[in-house]
Amino acid sequence: MPKTPLFSPKDFYFCWLTNLIAMTKTMAKKETKEKYGKETYLKWYELMFLIRKFEEKAGALYIQQKIRGFCHLYIGQEAIVAGCEAVLTPEDKMITTYRDHAHPIGRGMHPKFIMAELFGKITGCSKGKGGSMHMFSKEFNFFGGHGIVGAHIPLGAGIAFADKYNGNKAVTLCFMGDGAVRQGAFHEALNMAMTWKLPVIFIIENNQYAMGTSVERTSNVTDLYKLGLAYDMPSFPVDGMKCEAVANAVEEAAARGRKGEGPTLLEIRTYRYKGHSMSDPAKYRTKEELKCYQEQDPINDVLAKIKDKKYASEKEIEAIEEKVKAMVEEAVQFAEQSPFPTIDELYKDVYSQPDYPYIMD
C-alpha cells in the first residue's frame, strides 16, 4: 500500500470534471429538465433514501454481529439502481455482484426479506442459504448476487440469450464493478453478446476501487467504457451521481436491446463512501477525496431538485423519510423475529431432484 495516494484529491476532482465534459459530448443531447416529473423525483428520493438507510442499518447491525460473513454496502452508489428502475419493466432482468442489497430493493422487493437474509433467517429472500452476497428473487426477476468477481457476466449474457431465443422483449441488466472488467469472463461475454446481438446492458459501477486497488493501478485503459469499443459495442460513460443521466443512458441502451440491436456497455462513474466491505477501513484513499464525492451526493442532488421545483413540501419530504425509517425498522424486527432454517433445510435445495441420495456419513 503506498503511503501517499497515487493521485491527489485535486487530480480526482479534475479527472471528474474532465469526465463530465466528455460525457456531455458523448451522450445524445437530451433535455433532461422536463423529462422526469414530480412522480419520478419523489420515487427516486424514496428509493435512494431507503437504500441509504437500509445500508446504514446493515452496517450498524454488522458491528453488533447480528449480520456476519462479508458485507458490502451500496452507500454512495444509489443513483445507479434508482436511475435504472425509472426506465425498466418488471419483465426485465437483473444480475449483479456481491454488492447486492440495493438491486432487489430497486426491483420492488420489501427490504425485510433482504434483512432476514442478512440475519440468516428462513424468511430471507434466499431462505438464509445465500447471505449478504447471494440475494435472489425469481419473482422480481433478480438473478442474484454472485460472489466470484466477473464470473456472473457471462450469466448475464446467457439470461439475455434465453430471452432472445424465446422472442421476449425483456432486456437484462448485468452489473459489475470496475475490478471485474480485468477478468477474462468480461471480455468473452462482451464478445459473444455483441456477435449474437444479445439484449443485455453491461453496467460497470465504476466506484474507482477494486477492493483497495484504484482503476489507474490495474491497466493503462482507465476509461473503462472504451473496453466495449474493442468489440464494436455501443459504449458510453455515464455520470453515476445523477439519476437522470443513468436513466437516460439505460433507456437508450434498453431500446437498442429491445429492437434487436444488441448489447450496450455503460461505465457509470460513482463512488462508494464506505470501504470495500465492512472489514475495510479504506486507508488507500484520502478524506478529501471522499468529501469531494459526498459533496455531489446523489440523494442530496435529487432532494435539491425536489425543493427547487417545489415537488414536495418540507412536511411531505419528512413523511417520505418517516415512511422509509419505519420500513427499515420493520425489516429489522421481521429479521429478528424470524426463525433460523431448521436443520432439515441442509439437504433441501441442493438438487431439484427431491430424493437425491446424499452420502450421509
Partner 1 sequence: MRVIQFREALREALNEEMRADKSVFLMGEEVAEYNGAYKVSQGMLEEFGEERVIDTPIAELGFAGIGVGAAMNGLRPIIEFMTFNFSLVAIDQVINSAAKVHSMSGGQFNCPIVFRGPTASAGQLGAQHSQAFENWFANTPGLKVVVPSTPYDAKGLLKASIRDNDPVIFMESEQMYGDKGEVPEGEYIIPIGVADIKRKGKDVTIVTFGKIVHVVLAACVELEKEGISVEVIDLRTVRPIDYDAIFESVKKTNRLVVVEEAWPLASISGEITYKVQKEAFDYLDAPVARVTSRDVPLPYAMNLINEALPNIERITKAVKGVLYK
Positions 116 through 135 that interact with partner 1 (CB under 8 A): 124-130, 134
Total chain residues near partner 1 (CB under 8 A): 50
Q: Which of 154, 51, 153, 151 is nearest to 111 (CA)?
A: 51
Assigned C-alpha cell, 190: 462482451
Q: Which is nearer to partner 1, 63 or 360 (CB)?
A: 360
CA distance 209 to 351: 37
The answer to whether the Cα torsion of 44, 61, 212, 15 is positive or negative is positive
CA distance 238 to 248: 9
Positions 246 through 275 that interact with partner 1 (CB under 8 A): none
In angstroms, the Cα distances linking 16 to 20, 142, 238 are 6, 31, 11
- Shortest distance, CB of residue 47 to partner 1, whole angstroms? 23
CA distance 113 to 59: 17
Positions 178 through 207 that interact with partner 1 (CB under 8 A): 184-185, 188-189, 191-192, 195
Does the footprint of partner 1 cover residue 110 (CB under 8 A)?
A: no
Q: Which is nearer to partner 1, 191 or 286 (CB)?
A: 191
Does the footprint of partner 1 cover residue 21 (CB under 8 A)?
A: no
Placement of cell 454488492 in the chain: 99
Residue 280 neighbours by CB distance under 10 Å? 15
Among 104, 144, 257, 262, binds partner 1 (CB under 8 A): 144
Among 116, 157, 203, 299, binds partner 1 (CB under 8 A): 157
Does the footprint of partner 1 cover residue 304 (CB under 8 A)?
A: no
Placement of cell 438491486 in the chain: 103
Positions 158 through 177 that interact with partner 1 (CB under 8 A): 158-163, 165-166
Residue 265 neighbours by CB distance under 10 Å? 28
Query: What percent of the residues of the chain are helix, what percent strand, and what percent coil, each to the nearest 5?
Result: 45, 10, 45
Q: Which is nearer to partner 1, 164 or 272 (CB)?
A: 164
Helix (H, G, I), strand (E, B) or coil at 326: helix
Q: Which is nearer to partner 1, 326 or 350 (CB)?
A: 350
In angstroms, the Cα distances linking 245 to 108, 236, 240, 289 are 21, 11, 7, 22
Among 112, 146, 182, 272, binds partner 1 (CB under 8 A): 146
Is residue 95 left, alpha or beta, with left meaning phi > 0 and alpha meaning psi from -120 to 50? beta
Q: Which is nearer to partner 1, 185 or 266 (CB)?
A: 185
- Shortest distance, CB of residue 81 to partner 1, whole angstroms? 20
Q: Which is nearer to partner 1, 4 or 352 (CB)?
A: 352
Does the footprint of partner 1 cover residue 108 (CB under 8 A)?
A: no
- Shortest distance, CB of residue 161 to partner 1, whole angstroms? 5
First to last CA, the chain: 46
Q: Which is nearer to partner 1, 37 or 184 (CB)?
A: 184
Q: Which of 101, 297, 277, 96 is nearest to 204 (CA)?
A: 96
Q: Which residues contact 306 (CB under 8 A, 6 or more apart)?
A: 41, 42, 45, 312, 317
Site string for partner 1, 76-105 (x = CB under 8 A): -----------------x-x----------
Site string for partner 1, 333-352 (x = CB under 8 A): ---------------xxxxx
Helix (H, G, I), strand (E, B) or coil at 172: strand
Q: Which is nearer to partner 1, 137 or 248 (CB)?
A: 137
Among 106, 120, 154, 263, binds partner 1 (CB under 8 A): 154
Contact residues: partner 1, CB under 8 A: 93, 95, 124-130, 134, 136-138, 143-144, 146-148, 151-163, 165-166, 184-185, 188-189, 191-192, 195, 348-353, 356-358, 361
